[in-house]
Amino acid sequence: MAKRIGDLLKDEGIIGEEEIGFALKEQLSTEERIGEILIRMGLTTDSEVAMAIARQSQKEYLNLKEVVPQKEALKALPFTFARDNQILPVRIENNNLVVATSEPDNIKVLDLASRISKKTVECDVASSLLIQKHIEKEYYLLEHPLEEDIKSSLNQAKQNIRSVDIERLTQLLFISAINLRATDIHITPTQKTTHIRYRIDGVIYTFYTFPIALHSRLISNIKIKAGMDISEQRRPQDGRMTFEFLNEGYDMRISTLRTSNGENLVIRILSTSEELYSLRNLGLEEDGIKALKEVFNKPFGMVFVAGPTGSGKTTTLYAALRAINALEKNVLTVEDPIEYHFPLIRQTQVNEKADYVFASAVRSFLRQDPDVILIGEVRDPETANMAIRAATTGHLVLSTIHANNAVGAIPRLKDLGIGDIMLSSSLLCVIAQRLVRKLCPHCKKEYTSGEIEKETFGISPGTKLYDSSGCPDCLHTGFLGRTLVSEIFLVSEEIERMLSEGAHPFEIKKVAINKGMNTLWGDGKLKILSGITSVKEAIRVLS
């Protein structure tokens, strides 16, 4: 390695001298490597280290969360070799084996891989943590083909329902959901069949269908695991359980609802290893990143992230926290729940039984000498009031709010009892956002735009755009992963004056756009023109 990790991350603007100095001090008592300390302290992530290494060694960075390794590639190298050397075979192109590694300059291992596979070997750079997890998982799945096992359960069910090993089937369905990056599993009864549906990147797909006779056995098995009452089938119930797979625990929240066809069961899967993002890799445009960095380093005021449920607001708030110098500032949070633990930040969680809610938490924070306060959500007048009070008494306050667009936060805050003067003197910025699915880079297809593209996004007819297709890499969905579409509303002096005079949000929006604000649809257009997403997907999410 030509450069040390610390210097590499500094060049990338991820950390500064201060963080390196801090890590060096920490090293005196722990003797860890600098990179390890920076990751442990939440100052950088494994993926960011990999991205920096990729840039330095001029290799491709591979996001393993969005890649399904080919079976043929995995078979080219034995499991023990992959595990011992931490390289993951990804795909074969012509007679060329592409592997993922976190050490692209380890020529010896790459040579060895080439000799064993009898192919030329090329490498992409990926996070060492994800490489390790993927090697375990992918080789396990190579030995235990899920699809075939689930299909054989279905065949058994057709012949004799009782012969199906229901516990085994439950596990297969859970593993398959985890493997497909699903966030939710729906087990939905219809008249003759029960559907196993997974939500992936925000959209539900039906993956398996079983005879309805299997439905109640499957539901009962999961309810028992989650400590729910199986004799009660009429009332809605909640439960939770932890599912272990390859040494990782998946927290599952389960709920049932009686429908006309029987009990419907939904499982939310909470991964223990949520990825932490920086402003840079959220999917924001360059000028947006610059503006937000300034906002997050102001000494006081309010910043809101607005959007519907599931639009990634928490991820953006966490990226904001990372843009704030936690070594110099006292940062306190109240969240519901804490989704990621930051070692250098004092995080607390709402506890309604103990009367610890957003508003009361902020009241306690004010006696803890804070610089920055993060409030999970502003949804009632009391919290809104406390948030504004904190923001007008010398603290930077970050929170989320339910509003459809950035300027929409203004009437929402007024509804919660915030007056024009208080609003104008505290509001710094509102970021409104949605998540759009990214087109699968392996199969997206080019086409020439026409009238619809012009009407919806003002794209001139004849422009080269991309639409979704489908291939094994994206499980025939046409998409892989999601990215942010956002609008950043900055309160300028002029807008501050308009707010104090109670100007109509429509007028305020016009001024903001004149000042260069890109709207959600405008940002969507940028993502369409650069081939990241499709017109249909952007319309689906934005309208």
Contact residues: Zn ion, CB under 5 A: 440, 442-443, 471, 473-474
DSSP string covering 8-77? HHHHTTSS-HHHHHHHHHHHHHH---HHHHHHHTTSS-HHHHHHHHHHHTT--B--GGG----HHHHHHS
Q: In whole angstroms, how close is the CB of 77 to Zn ion at the nearest point?
A: 24
What is the C-alpha separation between 86 and 135, in angstroms, rounded? 8
Q: In whole angstroms, how close is the CB of 20 to Zn ion at the nearest point?
A: 41
Nearer to Zn ion, 217 or 444 (CB): 444
Token code pair at residue 440: 């699968």
Q: In whole angstroms, how close is the CB of 147 to Zn ion at the nearest point?
A: 18
Nearer to Zn ion, 440 or 491 (CB): 440
Nearer to Zn ion, 253 or 442 (CB): 442
Nearer to Zn ion, 233 or 469 (CB): 469
185 sits in which H/E element:
strand 184-189
Token code pair at residue 209: 């269908």
Determine the residue type at 364: S
What is the C-alpha separation between 263 and 206, in angstroms, rounded? 17
Can you state the angle between helices 166-179 and 146-159, rounded to 10 degrees?
Answer: 150
Q: In whole angstroms, how close is the CB of 273 to Zn ion at the nearest point?
A: 25
Nearer to Zn ion, 414 or 540 (CB): 540
Nearer to Zn ion, 472 or 516 (CB): 472
Contact 197, 281 (CB under 8 A): no
**DSSP secondary structure code for residue 276 in this structure:** P
What is the C-alpha separation between 270 and 339, in angstroms, rounded? 9
Nearer to Zn ion, 387 or 474 (CB): 474
Contact 369, 344 (CB under 8 A): no
**DSSP secondary structure code for residue 160 in this structure:** -
Q: In whole angstroms, how close is the CB of 471 to Zn ion at the nearest point?
A: 4
Q: Which residue is nearest to Zn ion (CB)?
A: 440
Check the CA dihedral 71-58-319-492 and report its sign: negative
**Can you give 302-346 as a three-state secondary structure string?**
EEEEECCCCCCHHHHHHHHHHHCCCCCCCEEEEECCCCCCCCCCE
Contact 129, 46 (CB under 8 A): yes
Q: In whole angstroms, how close is the CB of 130 to Zn ion at the nearest point?
A: 20
What is the C-alpha separation between 157 and 165, in angstroms, rounded? 10
Nearer to Zn ion, 140 or 205 (CB): 205
Q: In whole angstroms, how close is the CB of 445 to Zn ion at the nearest point?
A: 10
Q: In whole angstroms, how close is the CB of 337 to Zn ion at the nearest point?
A: 34
Q: In whole angstroms, how close is the CB of 69 to Zn ion at the nearest point?
A: 14
Give phi and psi for 271, each to the nearest 5: -80, 145
423 sits in which H/E element:
helix 420-426
Nearer to Zn ion, 471 or 513 (CB): 471
Token code pair at residue 510: 């016009």
Q: In whole angstroms, how close is the CB of 531 to Zn ion at the nearest point?
A: 14
Nearer to Zn ion, 522 or 531 (CB): 531
Q: In whole angstroms, how close is the CB of 530 to Zn ion at the nearest point?
A: 18
Nearer to Zn ion, 208 or 466 (CB): 466
